[in-house]
């Protein structure tokens, strides 16, 4: 039992470390979603700043990571649909219907 708990603790730490590295690599890549908009002279710089604020890209990196990690832990996908339901549907499980 003690071995299993230790392995679970190591797994949790490893997953946390991998999540930090994954988020850092994705966030520190050159450019962001609004670089192309900045190059367009028809779009005002204020509009780009407002969009960055709306999507919270103007916040510090650690705060954005905590927000991202919270959404991952709670199973919220980009579509704001619970990931568990999406996985269940992909495997053919329909909520409310029993399969024998």
Return the domain boundaries, the chain.
1-30
Query: Each residue of 74-86: pLDDT tens digit?
Result: 766 555 556 666 6
Query: Each residue of 51-71: pLDDT tens digit?
Result: 888 888 889 999 999 988 888
The DSSP element (H or E) to which 61 belongs, if any, is: helix 61-73
- Which positions ≥6 away from 52 have C-beta within 8 Å? 32, 34, 58
Q: Which residues pair with 76 in a beta bridge?
A: 82
Share the mean pLDDT of the chain: 82
Please say whether the beta carbons of 75 and 68 come within 8 A: no
What's the CA gap between 9 and 18, in Å, rounded?
14
């Amino acid at each position: 039992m003690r071995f299993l708990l230790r392995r679970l603790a190591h797994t949790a730490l490893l997953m946390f470390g991998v999540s930090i590295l994954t988020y850092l690599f994705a966030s520190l890549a050159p450019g962001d979603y609004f670089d192309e908009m900045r190059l367009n002279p028809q779009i005002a710089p204020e509009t780009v700043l407002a969009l960055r604020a709306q999507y919270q890209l103007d916040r510090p990196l650690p705060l954005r990571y905590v927000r991202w990690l919270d959404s991952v832990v709670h199973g919220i996908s980009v579509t704001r649909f619970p990931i568990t339901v999406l996985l269940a549907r992909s495997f053919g499980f329909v909520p409310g219907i029993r399969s024998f």
